[in-house]
Structure 1
C-alpha cells in the first residue's frame, strides 16, 4: 500500500493523541498498540459508542423556563440598549435569556489484554517470570491502513513473531481483534473490560465478558464547573453495556504467569495459556432509541442485545467479517481519490515524518508533498469512520439512522470532554460535512440530516418559548437530544452564548445535497450507490419535498418572525451577534471603550437569512408550491435585506453599523460566510472586501480556522495564500508555541488546540475546493472551474471521481502546475460551463459518454474534446 494511505509508528502509543482510530459510525476505538509491562505486552483499546451521551431529552425542559412576557422583556430591553448605544448593558441583559448547557459525549469502556510467552519449563510459572526474561520486544511496528480500515501491530518476543490486527465491522457492528504468533509454546493471554462510567454489573463466563453501565444524567462543560452527575431517576439518563467473547486454540481457564497472572486477578477476566491463535469480538450497546427520543430499555436489555451481536459475529467468523468489512469500507473510501507524483519513499514513522517535514525552511509540503495526499485520505477515512447510517446494528429494534460526527468525531477519552465534545453549531458541526458532497461521501451526511430532522421538533418549542415565532430555532450548542436553547447559565458572553441562527446554517447542507444531485436520505447504507450522481427525478423530488422543504421552510418562517423593520424600509436583526467576535464600543467616559458583543444586523445574519429565502423560493418553484404563504413572504422580504458592503479599511462590514474590531486577528470569520460556504456572487468590490478582511484577520489561527481560511482563499483563487495557510496547518504540535495555533498531533489529529476533528475534515473540503469549484452559475448553467487554486507545492497529480454541481463526476490530470486533461461524466443529460483559467467553454454531457478535455501545457484553452 502506498505511504499516502498508511499511518506507521515504531513505538507504542504513550498517550491518547498517539493512538490510532478505528470506527464504523457507531462504535469507535483508539488503538494504543502493545507496550511492555514487565514480562508481558499490554494492549489497550479505548472504546466509544456514538450514542453514549449524558442526559436525556428532559435536559431541555429543566429550569429556567421563560414565559413569553419575560423573554419579550429581555429581548426588548436589549434592543433599547443597543439603540441607545449601551452595548455593554445590552450584552448583560441578554445573559438573562441563557439556559444551562448541552450534554456531553462520553468515553465508554476499555478493552485490555496482556500477552506473554508461555513457559516451556513447567516450573517457570511457579517462578512467576512467564518462562522468559522481561526483554524489550524487537522489530516493533504499529500502523493503520486507511484503505482497509485495518490496524496492525507486530513485534517479536525473544525471536518469536506476534501479530495483532483489529478492525470494526459495519455490519454487524463489532470490533474484531485477532492475535497470531509463531511461538512454539504459544502465549499466555488475559482479557478484561473496564469503564470510566458507573459499572452496574460485571460478568465473565464461558469465554465471554460483559459490563452493564449507567450513564450520567448531567455532565457540565469545564467552563461551567465540569460536574458529572448520576441520578436514580431512570428517565434522566441512558444505560448501556459492552460485551466481548473470544475463540482461541489454547487452554482456557488456566491462570497465566507473570504480568498476565496479575491482570487475571481482576473479577471478570478471560485467561488462557498456550495460545497461538485468538480472535476477540466486542460490541457496545445503549438504551438510545433515536435522536431526541426518550431512551428505552435497561442495562440488562442492552447487554442481551450486545451479546446477541457478538454471537452473530462469532458465527460469521473473523475471515468472513474482515472480507465484508473491507468491501463495505472501500466502497466509500474509493468513491474519490487523489494521487500526487512525489518522490518514492520508504515506510517510516509518521510522527518523525511530520517533524522532518517541518524542519524544511520552505515548509512541510515543500519537503514532503505526499503529506497533502495522506491528510486528504485520512480526513475522508475519519468521516467514514465517525458518521455512517445503515445496518450497523439496531437500538432496541429501532433502525439505525446514525449519529453525526461530533467535535471529536467518534473518539473521546475524557469525562467531561473538551467543550463537551458536543455539536457546536456556529461552524464546527457544519465544517465536519463540508467535504462530504464534493468527495463522494454524501452518504456520510445522512446522520446530519437525521439530526436536522430532530432539531425541527425541539427547535420549534424554543422558537415559541423565546421568540414567539413560527418555525424552529437552534442556538450555539446541541447534542444527541437535539438541544436547542441558548447556553450559558446566565454568566457567559452573548458573543457565543446568544446566536439563534444555527438552523439557517444547517439547512444549507440539505440544499447542497440537492445541488450535487443527491438522493433520498432514507437509502440503505449497504445498498446506496454513492456514485449515483444524478438519480431519477422522483428520488430527487422526494428528498426535496420530504426532507429539504419542511426544514428550509421552517427556518425561513423563523427568520421572517425574527426580522424587524428598520428606518428606510429595510429589514434586519437586533440583537445580533457575529459568532464569536466582538467589537469596540464607546465606553461610559469620554474616550473609553468597552467590548461589545451584540449590535444591529450582523452580516452573517443577513447572509444566512437571504440564503434561506432564496433556497425556499427555488424549492417552491421546483415543487409547484410558489403560493405557499411562507415562500411568498420570504420572496417579498428578500429585497429589503441590506446588501453586504465594504466598511472600515475596505474590509467587509461585520455589522450594519460597522463598529471598530476589538480583536482584529480573531479566529472566527463569520461575516465571510457569504463567500464560503455561501455562494454569493462576488462583485469586484465585494471580492476586494473579503480579501481585505482575510488579510486583516491574518493567517495564524486554530486548526479549524485555518481550514476555513484555506477554503475562502481557494474561492478567491489565491493559491499563494493557500500555500501560506497549508504551511501553518501542517505544523507539528510537539513544537512548543504559544496562543491558539493549529497544527497536527502525532496521530495526525487536528489541533484547535486541543483536538477537534473539524480541522481534519475541513482540510478535505479545502483541498477539494482548490481542485474543483462549481458554485457559480452563468445564465442558469453551472460553471465547473478546474484547478482554481492549486498550491505550488502540488505541481503534479491526478484526482478522480470528485463531485461537482449539478451531479457531475470530474477526473483531473495536471503536470507542472498546469491542467493536462479533465474528464466529466454525468448520469443525466445536460449542459455545464467548464472554466480553466480565463478559458470557458460549454460541455454537453450525456449518460455513458464522458466529455474529455485535453489542454496544452502552455495555455489554458482546451485543445480537444472527445465524447
Structure 2
C-alpha cells in the first residue's frame, strides 16, 4: 500500500528533465516525462561511458620529469614558497577522466481523439512504478512503466477504454553517433557508438570520436511492442492505429561485458543481446513480469519503514487551529485530492518555521526517495552511482557525471549499510577493486610508492591519475588521498557485519584486506619527515579549499588535517585487521604502528576552530562548502574529545549554513554527530527549498522532482540527506548504539523500523513529543550490546533473531 509520503505526485506532464521522474534497476535508467500527446522516455545504460581502459594512457607520464617536479614542489613548500609551489604543482597534472553518457530517447506521439482532463502522474517509491492517468472525453487512459531487474528491461503498458483507441507513432533517437537505424512492424533499434574522449564542460576539448574500434564502446537500443490495433507503415517510426492495449519493451546493451573490462564485440553483437533480453521479457505474461518486479523491488525497499509526524488515532478528530497557516493547505480533507508534490513543496516553504515543520511528511518522503534512488542506480553487476546516479541527458554532462572521489561518490553510499541496502554497495566495491589495480601503477609510476593511489576523479575504466591538463587549480586537482577514503567503506562493511559471520571473514580476506593494506602502504610512502620530527604530507591540499600563506592566496600546503586524519584512521584499521588475520608481523602493519604516534591528530587552533592545515594559516573563504578538516567527526569515527567537539561546532558555525545541496547534507551529518538537533532543523530549511525560485550562487534545495540541487543537479545531495537523517536517529560508530542522538525539534513524533547498526544489529524506535517511548534491538548473533539514550545506558544481551526491548521504564 502506498502513502502520500512514499509517492511523488503531479497534475501535469513534466515540463523539463528536472520535473521528469526516474526509474532504474542499477543497469538501465529512464527519466519519464509523461504527456497525453507525447510520451517521452529518456534512456541511460549504466555501462555507457566514453573512452576505454586505454584512455588513461593517451598521454604517457614522464616519470623522471614528474619526480623532479614533485621534488621541487616539496622543496618550495618547505621553504614557505606557497604561490611558487602552486604554479609548479600544475606540472603534476595528467588529463581527465571519461564521462557517463546519455544513451537514447524513446518518444511516442499520441492522438487521443478528444479533450484531455483529470490528468495525474505519480512515482510510487515502494513499488517502483510510474503511473499516469487521464481522461479523454468520458474514457480513461492509463500508462504504467517500470524497469524490471530481471530480465533487465523497461516495460511500458497502456490501456484505454476509449472507443476509437489511440493512434501512436513511436520513434528512437540518441545523442551518440548512430551507426544504423531500423524500424519494422513490431520493433525498432539503434546501433550506437560512444565517443572516444569527452572533456568535462569546464575544460576545453569537447567530444571526440575515433575510427579505432578499441578506442570506445559500441552499443544498441532495442524496442519491441505488442498491441491490439492496426499497424501503420510510416518511414522512421513504428505506427499503430486504434490501440486499446499496448506493451512496449525497451532494452539496452553495450560492448562492455563487465565493469572496467575491455569492450568486446560491436554494435551488432550488442543488439543481439538486447533483443534476446526483450524476447525473454515478452515470453513471460505481463502480470508475472510485474509481480516479479514488485517482489524484487519491494524486498529491498521494504527493509526500512519510517513514519514522521503525528498520525491521529482512527476516529479521533484533529484539534482545529484558531489561525490558519500555510500548512493548512497540506492537510487532507474528506474526498480532497492529494496535493501535487511540487505544489506541496512550495506551500510548505511558505511556513515561517520551515518546510519540515509545516509538513513532516516531506522529510519522510525525501528519506524514502533516497533509498529508492540508491536501489535504482546501484545494483550488483552494474556500475556505482555516479554524480547523477544513473540518469543523465547531457553530452558532455556536468562534471562529466563521473566519480568525484574527494567526497561525492563516498557520500552516495554513506547510508547504504544503515538502511539495509548492502547489496547496493557491491558496485562500489567493484570500483575499489579496479582502482586498486590501476592505482598500483599510478602509485609506482608517479610517486615511486607502493600500495595504490587515486585522485580527485575516477571513471568506469578506473582512471586514477591527477586530472587537469596542467591548467586546473591544484586545490582540487592535486589530491592523491582517495584510496584512504574509499577503503573506509570496506571497513564499515566489516563493522556492520554480525560477529562471527563467515561471509565477513571471506570479505576481509579477499577484498578488504588487500585494499586497506594497499592504501596504508601508499600512505606510508607518501609521508615525509618534517623538521620537528613529525610525519606529514607534502604537498597537501584540503579539498577544494585555499588559505592565506604569507598574505597571499595559496592552495597547496603542508599536512592538511584531512590527510593526517585519514592516515591515522587507516593505520588503526590495518592494526586491527592485521591482528584479526594473524599478520602482526606484516611489514605494512609494523610500519603503520611505528608511524602512527608521529602523525598529529586534529587540534583546535585559530578562533577556537579545528585547524584545516597544521600551520593554521588564515582562511580565504571562511564559508567554503567542503568541511574536509572535520572528516574525523563524520564520516570518520575517531572518538572526539569535548575540546574537539567544541572546535568542530565552532568550525561549522564559521562555515555558515548556506551551501550546495551535498554540503548541506554533510553539515547535517556533522551536526548529528555533535548532538545538535536544533542546528539540523536550520539546515533542513535550506535542504527543502523550492529550487524553481532562483536562489543565486551555489545554493542547495530541491527541484520539482525532488532531485537535489548542487546546483545543477547532483544526486549526492539526496543520498547525503538520507545519511544525515539516519545519524540524527541512530548512531553506532562509538562502540555503542545511541538512539535519537540529535532529533530535530521539527520532527517530534515518529517511528522507524529496520535501521541497522554496527555489529549486525537492527532497531525499531518510536518517539512522541521529542521523547523515545519504545525501542527494540535485534541481533544476527549472540552478543551484548551497549545501548544509550541521552544519559541512560543499558547492556542488552541479545539472542539471534529475538527482538529485545530497551527497558526505558526501568
Task: Indicate the TM-score class for this superposition, using the shorter chain for normalisation.
Answer: over 0.9
Partner of 1:768: helix, strand, or coil?
A: helix
Shift of 1:70: 1.3
The answer as to whether partners of 1:336 and 1:800 remain within 8 angstroms in 2 is yes
Shift of 1:158: 2.4
Equivalent in the alignment of 1:524:
none
**C-alpha RMSD over aligned residues:** 1.1
Matched, 1:340 2:308: yes
Matched, 1:677 2:672: no
Equivalent in the alignment of 2:3:
2
Residues in 2 aligned to 1:454 and 1:158: alpha-carbon distance in whole angstroms: 57
Question: Residues 21-77 of structure 1: CA distance to partner in whole angstroms, max 9, x if unpaired?
Answer: 000000000000015xxxxx110000000100000011110114121x212211111
How many residue pairs end up in the alignment?
786
TM-score by length of 2: 0.96
Equivalent in the alignment of 1:15:
16
Residues in 2 aligned to 1:644 and 1:213: alpha-carbon distance in whole angstroms: 51
Question: Residues 798-854 of structure 1: CA distance to partner in whole angstroms, max 9, x if unpaired?
Answer: 100100111100100101100001100002111111110111121111113221024
Equivalent in the alignment of 1:55:
51
Question: Residues 426-471 of structure 1: CA distance to partner in whole angstroms, max 9, x if unpaired?
Answer: 0000000001011111110110000000001110111011100001
Partner of 1:347: helix, strand, or coil?
A: coil
The answer as to whether partners of 1:342 and 1:370 remain within 8 angstroms in 2 is no
Residues in 1 aligned to 2:635 and 2:695: alpha-carbon distance in whole angstroms: 30
Matched, 1:386 2:377: yes
Please point out which of 367, 376, 379 is paired with 2:358. Answer: 367
Partner of 1:381: helix, strand, or coil?
A: helix
Partner of 2:260: helix, strand, or coil?
A: coil
Please point out which of 238, 247, 251 is paired with 2:226. Answer: 247
Q: 1:733 to 1:457 in 2, by over 3 A?
A: same
Equivalent in the alignment of 2:162:
183
Please point out which of 253, 256, 261 is paired with 1:285. Answer: 253
Residue range with higher mean Cα deviation, 286-295 or 337-346: 337-346
Residues in 1 aligned to 2:470 and 2:408: alpha-carbon distance in whole angstroms: 23
Equivalent in the alignment of 1:584:
548
Equivalent in the alignment of 1:509:
489
The answer as to whether partners of 1:772 and 1:787 remain within 8 angstroms in 2 is yes
Partner of 2:512: helix, strand, or coil?
A: helix
Question: Residues 342-400 of structure 1: CA distance to partner in whole angstroms, max 9, x if unpaired?
Answer: 466352210010000011111111111110000000000000000001xxxxxxxxxxx
Residues in 2 aligned to 1:92 and 1:766: alpha-carbon distance in whole angstroms: 38
Q: For 1:796-835, list aligned pairs within 5 A.
A: 796-835=749-788
Partner of 1:92: helix, strand, or coil?
A: helix
Partner of 2:572: helix, strand, or coil?
A: helix
Q: For 1:290-305, list aligned pairs within 5 A.
A: 290-305=258-273
Q: For 1:787-798, list aligned pairs within 5 A.
A: 787-798=740-751
Shift of 1:291: 2.8
Q: 1:535 to 1:402 in 2, by over 3 A?
A: farther
Residues in 2 aligned to 1:165 and 1:774: alpha-carbon distance in whole angstroms: 41
Shift of 1:536: 5.2
Partner of 2:678: helix, strand, or coil?
A: helix
Please point out which of 108, 118, 128 is paired with 2:103. Answer: 108
Equivalent in the alignment of 2:809:
863
The answer as to whether partners of 1:552 and 1:616 remain within 8 angstroms in 2 is yes
Residues in 2 aligned to 1:742 and 1:341: alpha-carbon distance in whole angstroms: 24
TM-score by length of 1: 0.90
Runs of 4+ residues deviating >6 angstroms: none
Partner of 1:775: helix, strand, or coil?
A: coil
Residues in 2 aligned to 1:205 and 1:651: alpha-carbon distance in whole angstroms: 67
The answer as to whether partners of 1:241 and 1:302 remain within 8 angstroms in 2 is yes
Residues in 2 aligned to 1:236 and 1:156: alpha-carbon distance in whole angstroms: 50
Residues in 2 aligned to 1:92 and 1:158: alpha-carbon distance in whole angstroms: 69
Question: Residues 556-608 of structure 1: CA distance to partner in whole angstroms, max 9, x if unpaired?
Answer: 1100100011123211100000000000122xxxxxx3211111100000011
The answer as to whether partners of 2:499 and 2:759 remain within 8 angstroms in 1 is no
Question: Residues 627-675 of structure 1: CA distance to partner in whole angstroms, max 9, x if unpaired?
Answer: 1111111111111111211110010011111110000000000010000
Residues in 2 aligned to 1:807 and 1:538: alpha-carbon distance in whole angstroms: 13
Residues in 1 aligned to 2:174 and 2:58: alpha-carbon distance in whole angstroms: 28
Please point out which of 719, 733, 736 is paired with 2:677. Answer: 719
Question: Residues 496-517 of structure 1: CA distance to partner in whole angstroms, max 9, x if unpaired?
Answer: 0000000110000000001000
Residues in 2 aligned to 1:372 and 1:500: alpha-carbon distance in whole angstroms: 37
Residues in 2 aligned to 1:565 and 1:623: alpha-carbon distance in whole angstroms: 30
Partner of 2:538: helix, strand, or coil?
A: coil
Equivalent in the alignment of 1:569:
533
Residues in 2 aligned to 1:738 and 1:64: alpha-carbon distance in whole angstroms: 41
The answer as to whether partners of 2:750 and 2:767 remain within 8 angstroms in 1 is yes
Please point out which of 551, 560, 572 is paired with 1:614. Answer: 572
Residues in 2 aligned to 1:603 and 1:383: alpha-carbon distance in whole angstroms: 31
Matched, 1:201 2:180: yes
The answer as to whether partners of 1:291 and 1:482 remain within 8 angstroms in 2 is no
Please point out which of 850, 854, 860 is paired with 2:803. Answer: 850
Partner of 2:214: helix, strand, or coil?
A: helix
Matched, 1:649 2:607: yes
Partner of 2:460: helix, strand, or coil?
A: coil
Residues in 1 aligned to 2:357 and 2:376: alpha-carbon distance in whole angstroms: 30
Structure 1 stretches lacking a partner, 5+ long = 36-40, 118-131, 256-263, 390-400, 518-533, 587-592, 778-782, 855-861
Shift of 1:185: 2.0
Q: For 1:361-510, list aligned pairs within 5 A.
A: 361-389=352-380, 401-510=381-490
Shift of 1:191: 1.3
Residues in 2 aligned to 1:662 and 1:324: alpha-carbon distance in whole angstroms: 55
Residues in 1 aligned to 2:620 and 2:446: alpha-carbon distance in whole angstroms: 29
Shift of 1:226: 5.2
Residues in 2 aligned to 1:570 and 1:83: alpha-carbon distance in whole angstroms: 14
